[in-house]
Chain A
């Protein structure tokens, strides 16, 4: 009987650990997806002031202004998303980082590039 209880307890513990781990991975992934989407559409998107109406700005989703991707920008989003670490960059991250990427264009020549969002 004691063996059964111990086995059940261990199995339940392992099940719950697995579920928590899976939920954490999904949460981090969802946060990275949201941050990447916000960055390419708003946070680092090229915008032009059209001038016809005061404050009228036109944004170009997926056209990234690399000058807007600063460590201050990343830190702000890291805090808001309650992540342990966050890096947003146009260069490929090293191995071991948990990253997603978005396809973007950069610069006046609108060159193809990848925007990497890594975090944990």
Chain B
């Protein structure tokens, strides 16, 4: 009789351990799952930057050449937006950016490609938003 109870107790303990481990794994999985799906919002925000630069007329006569007025205006706007949002903005790689040097990219928000008329021809330019730790 005693041996039977011991066996039953053993079974119960093993079963409990099994359930605990399975449920801990499941609950851990739930907690680790990423939060919100904000992928659409990220692209909208990146497109906003392009759109406001268009509206402000900074993409007319734009060129990456140093001293180009439109380029300087875009860079000033990027600096202002960086102050307002804490986001780093990169246009054409790091040719025009609000985050120089010490800013380490923590997480890329999104990148978009847009066509812009530069020095007599249409060129594709990449615009990137990133969260920085700097």
Q: Which residues of A does B touch, CB under 8 Å?
A: 1, 3-4, 7-8, 11, 14-15, 18-19, 22, 25-26, 29, 33, 36-37, 40, 60-63, 100-105, 110, 112, 114
Is B12's CB within 8 Å of the partner chain A? Answer: yes
A15 touches B26 (CB 8 A): yes
Are B45 and A102 in touch, CB under 8 angstroms? yes
Measured as residues with beta carbon below 8 angstroms from the partner, the interface class of chain B is 20 to 34
Chain B interface residues (CB < 8 Å from chain A): 12, 15-16, 19-20, 23, 26-27, 30-31, 33, 35-38, 40-41, 44-45, 48-49, 51-52, 55-56, 77, 80-81, 84-85
Residues of the B chain whose Cβ atoms lie less than 8 Å from the Cβ of A102:
44-45, 48
**Residues on the A chain within 8 Å of B40, using CB:** 33
CA distance A8 to B26 in the complex (A): 12
B30 to A: closest C-beta gap in Å: 5
Q: Which of B20, B30, B49, B52 contacts A7 (CB 8 A)?
A: B20
Given known A-B contacts A8-B19, A29-B38, A112-B77, A104 and B48 have beta carbons under 8 A apart: yes
Query: Is B81 touching A18 in the complex (CB atoms < 8 A)?
Result: no
- Pick from B16, B44, B45, B51: contact of A3, CB below 8 A: B16
Contact (Cβ within 8 A) B55 A11: no
Complex CA–CA separation, A67 to B91 (angstroms): 33
> How far does the alpha carbon of A103 sit from the alpha carbon of B52 in the complex, in Å?
8
A100 to B16 alpha-carbon distance, docked (Å)? 45
Consensus secondary structure, chain A interface: helix
Smallest CB separation, A43 vs chain B (Å): 15
For A101, the chain B residues whose CB sits under 8 A away are 85
Q: Within 8 Å CB of A100, what residues of B? A: 41
Question: In the bound complex, do residue B16 and residue A105 qualify as a contact, i.e. CB atoms below 8 Å apart?
Answer: no
* A7-B19, A25-B36, A112-B77 known; A18-B30 Cβ under 8 A: yes
Closest B residue to A63 using CB positions: B55
CA distance A102 to B40 in the complex (A): 12
